[in-house]
Amino acid sequence: MSRLLSLAVFLALVVLAAWLGAQFPSGEYYALLNKPAWAPPAWLFAPVWALLYALMALAMWKAWESGKQARTGALAWWLIQLAFNAAWTWMFFGLTRIGWAMAELGILIGLVILCIRAFALVSKPAAWLMLPYLLWLVFALALNFSLWSLNGGGISI
């Protein structure tokens, strides 16, 4: 696979994940939730996610371009975490299950850590490119927990 074609494939995969997430817009549901004072404004999420998706694609591309045999394992972890990334939006906004989404986000963080570990075996820069995403997910988990707590908690939300 040519260098540019592989980059295009990884960019297309993150665009697909973003598109799947966009099928469940925040809309009125998020606007009506009780939020902590430190919650970012709703308009900030789209540009942050655009940057993070671009970094994820670039990280996978750098790992792939390493040519090392372990890159297939890195690709597997990357694809799994990308699927979980898209699933969070469905749980939070589609099903409106804040608690389920929070649990899924905890799993996603673990998957991203495993992905970063796999990337580090083939490309240190690829691993570093995933760090902003991991930090954002940790922040998102804190926000998700706060939203869950402020809006009744429990397993049904």
- pLDDT tens for the 157 residues of the chain, in order: 578 898 999 999 999 999 998 888 887 889 899 999 999 998 899 999 999 999 999 999 999 999 889 899 999 999 999 999 999 999 999 999 999 999 999 999 999 999 999 999 999 999 999 999 999 999 999 999 999 999 988 766 6
User: What pLDDT is attached to residue 157?
Assistant: 61
Q: Where are the alpha helices (DSSP H) in 66-130?
A: 71-89, 98-122, 124-129
Q: Which amino acid is at 71?
A: R
Q: What are the angstrom distances between the C-alpha of 51 and each of 3, 12, 58, 83, 130?
A: 21, 14, 11, 18, 11
Going from N- to C-terminal start, the domains of the chain cover 3-24+46-150
Q: What is the CATH T-level fold of the domain 3-24+46-150, as seen in this structure?
A: Ferritin (1.20.1260)
- What letters, b where the CB count within 10 A reaches 16 and e where it falls short, cover 58-95? bbbbbbbbbeeeebebbbebbeebbebbbbbbbbbbee
Q: What are the angstrom distances between the C-alpha of 150 and each of 32, 39, 90, 137, 157?
A: 12, 12, 21, 19, 11
CA dihedral (53, 58, 60, 63) in degrees, to 10, reads -160
Long-range contacts of 145-149 (CB under 8 A, 24+ apart): 145/102, 146/35, 146/36, 146/39, 147/33, 147/34, 147/35, 147/36, 147/39, 147/98, 148/98, 148/99, 148/102
User: What pLDDT is attached to residue 64?
Assistant: 94
User: What pLDDT is attached to residue 93?
Assistant: 92
